[in-house]
Structure 1
Amino acid sequence: MTENPATAVTPPSPAERPLAEVVIYDGHCNFCRAQIKRLQWWDCQGKLAYLSLHDPEVGRRWPDLPQERLLDEMCLVDRQGHRHWGPEAFRYLTRRLRRLWWAMPLMHLPGVMLLAKPVYRWISRNRYLIAGRTDCDSGSCSLHR
């Protein structure tokens, strides 16, 4: 069943949570949006804000973020301005979000990133095939097909 965009709950933005760390994700991707919904549940303390990489605010706030990399990996910008990409962002979140405590020991095992990075890259390359895409007119939806 497809979610009706009119009834979809928009994740909190940096304007709504100015002190939050910011997750930048592909808002045109159904798979990514589903993961953001899951992340919102894990973020029961409201530590995160969210922006689609297609939002002009991303370019205004972080002009140095490479668009090509944003299309390949989610990025988390922490309160100190450090950038955490893809599986390393998830590893970082296991230390920050109370509901992810169970994943922290696993994500910090020696060598786990040797497996996590290629798995993340495969999912990223195939995410539109896995879950479809939203309707968009910018042409970005076809980039990973």
Structure 2
Amino acid sequence: MAERPQKPIVIYDGACGICAGNLKWLYRLDTLKKFDSMPYQTDKLPVLFPHLNLEECEKAMHLVFPDGKTYTGTDAFREIFLRMPLMFVLGLIMSIPPIGWMLRRLYPVLARNRYRLGGTCELHVSYKQSHTPE
């Protein structure tokens, strides 16, 4: 079995334009370099994270911590923001129950329509080499 990553890993759709935009934005704001990423389409996914279900990865972004704790969708964004100095306040706002509840209802709608709204891309080709743990 492969060695577990040392940083939290953002698992995203490597063919999604919205996902690519979010990931580029994340790396610009991740000044402390706290996160790595990999597309769910990579062959490494089942080796590194056997507990993840591919169908669930197709539905939502995942954030997997080195201890295996996993957050999805809006909750993944919240956990990322809470660990980034420039986004911490937004993470706190997302933690307020009515706001978190509304965002968790909105995320699946956006995720289902992400190709129509954001087009497609091949971001995973370039990010796979520089941000995926070995």
Same fold (TM over 0.5): yes
Question: Please, which runs of 5 or more residues in structure 1 have no aligned partner?
Answer: 1-14, 136-145
The corresponding residue for 2:37 is 50
The letter of the residue matching 2:16 is C
Question: Which one has a bigger Cα radius of gyration?
Answer: 1
Counterpart pick for 1:128 among 115, 118, 121: 115
Output the CA distance in 1 between the equivalents of 2:49 and 2:92: 31
SS at match of 1:45: coil
Q: Does 1:33 align with 2:20?
A: yes
Following TM superposition, by how much is the alpha carbon of 1:70 offset from its aligned partner in structure 2, in angstroms? 0.3
Residue 104 of structure 1 deviates from its aligned partner by 2.5
Q: Alignment partner for residue 88 of structure 2, among 74, 95, 101?
A: 101
> For each residue in 1:36-71, what CA deviation from the matched residue of structure 2 results, as whole angstroms up to 9, or x when unmatched?
001111211100000000001011111221111100
Alignment equivalent of 2:68, drawn from 71, 78, 81: 81
CA RMSD across the alignment: 1.6
Q: Aligned partners of 1:118 and 1:111: how far apart in 2?
A: 11
2:97 is equivalent to residue 110 of structure 1: yes
Q: Is it true that 1:90 corresponds to 2:77 in the alignment?
A: yes
Q: Alignment partner of 2:67: what SS? A: coil
8 Å contact kept, 2:20–2:121: no
> 8 Å contact 2:81–2:90 — kept in the other structure?
yes
Distance 1:22 1:98, change over 3 A: same
Structure 1: 4+ residue segments shifted above 4 A = none
Name stretches of at least 5 consecutive residues in structure 2 with no aligned partner: 123-134
- Within 2, Cα distance between the matches of 1:47 and 1:102? 17
- Which structure would you say has the larger RCO, counting Cα contacts within 8 Å and 6 or more residues apart? 2
Counterpart in 1 of 2:47? 60
Q: TM-score, normalised by structure 2?
A: 0.82
Letter paired with 1:120: Y
How far 1:102 moved relative to its partner? 2.6
Q: Percent identity?
A: 27
